[in-house]
Amino acid sequence: MRRAFALTVIAALAVSSAASAETWTKYVDGANGTAWSYDADYSYKDRQTGRLVVMQAISKPEAKLGPSGPGKSDGVGSIVAIDCAAKNMIVLGSYKPSAPLEMKATWRSDSPKKAAGADNEALIAAVCPHVDHVPVK
């Protein structure tokens, strides 16, 4: 009985570790040593809107910033929903060490904004080719 319980606990820990994995892929260098990355493990296609939902984070080694996800001491970033065809996006929420991630429950009804700027254009170029290969949720 103890052995079965121990195996169950080990399996649960392995699943939770895999589910919270972060695979950061840098997609653009910014000014002053900053870089932007997206988390490939978090990316998914929203079933209701067809938008690609992506977590992005900034990193700057000199400032001891990630890239990291919400709740981490070096995590600064946001979650966006991208319409790859229209090249626009909606910000679902943002996070930093002093403010946890708060996702807007009404984001699906928000008006999208054009994905302007080199960093947003680079994000779209990096993630949209994979839109057909991410999970649908």
Burial class (CB in 10 A: 0-12, 13-18, 19+), 31: exposed
Structure tokens at 103: 């996702």
Strands (E) across the chain are located at 24-29, 35-39, 44-45, 52-59, 77-83, 88-95, 113-114
Within a domain: 1: no
**Residue 38: helix, strand or coil by DSSP?**
strand
Structure tokens at 136: 């649908």
Within a domain: 10: no
Q: How far is CA 15 from the centre of its chain?
A: 19
Within a domain: 54: yes
Give the number of domains in the chain. Answer: 1
Supply the range of the domain harboring residue 96. 22-133
Neighbours of 69 (CB within 10 A): 21
What are 74-119's pLDDT values in tens digits? 999 999 999 999 999 999 999 999 999 999 999 999 999 999 999 9
Within a domain: 16: no
Q: Under a CB-based contact definition with an 8 Å cutoff, are residues 38 and 27 in contact?
A: yes
Q: Under a CB-based contact definition with an 8 Å cutoff, are residues 33 and 23 in contact?
A: no
Question: pLDDT grade, residue 20 (50/70/90)?
Answer: low
Within a domain: 15: no
Within a domain: 3: no
Q: Residue 29 has what pLDDT?
A: 96
Within a domain: 44: yes
Within a domain: 112: yes
- Does the pTM exceed 0.85? no
Q: Residue 21 has what pLDDT?
A: 79
